[in-house]
Structure 1
Amino acid sequence: MQTWGIFGQNHFFRRHFRDWWELPSMQDRSSQRRRILKAGQILFGSSAVDCTVRDISATGARIQAHGPLWFPDKFVLAITSDGTSRRCHILWRKDGQIGVVFDE
């Protein structure tokens, strides 16, 4: 039997409002993100995983990893072209993309 509730078996709501439902909204962010496409690296221990930084703000970034699916929840994000690096931790993971918050 099919249920029509928001949290039931019907996937209409999730399919049509997926981005709003599952990702942090712009109102929840403490600073505005700007879209960029820059090469970066996820650094932890003596390992490095290549990534692409898709957008960035003063408080965090959205990245896409190009390597192993697993790495620690806390790491250093290095942006190759800028020569900058920031300690951060993962806020969310979805479809190969990762939302991180910069540690102060």
Structure 2
Amino acid sequence: MARVKQIPANAAEGVYTVVTRTSTYLIDLGEGTLLRAPGVGRIDGDDDWAVSELRRDSEDIPLLRIKECKVGRPAQFWVSAVDDPQVQTWRITTPVVEIEQIG
């Protein structure tokens, strides 16, 4: 397990945890999945950021590509809907606090 400053946009393999101001994401590039755990990893006393509820929280959703995932910046993930792969959208996070490669 190694802390890194970013996940390269062209990365094709690896498993990462990404902690943001309000949530933790589990990214499996080999499987092409993104899972969001809302409120997990939230920094105590940081009331400037509200935890939003998003569709399919705590479920794997198809990850199509990472545009940006860098400590100090909001991550940008291109995802598709679980029930309709034709529906694609951006998921943009609160600023990333920590990234760890776990696999």
Identify the structure with the greater helix proportion. 1
What's the TM-score once normalised by structure 1's chain length?
0.28
What's the TM-score once normalised by structure 2's chain length?
0.28
Larger relative contact order (Cα-Cα within 8 Å, sequence gap ≥ 6): 2
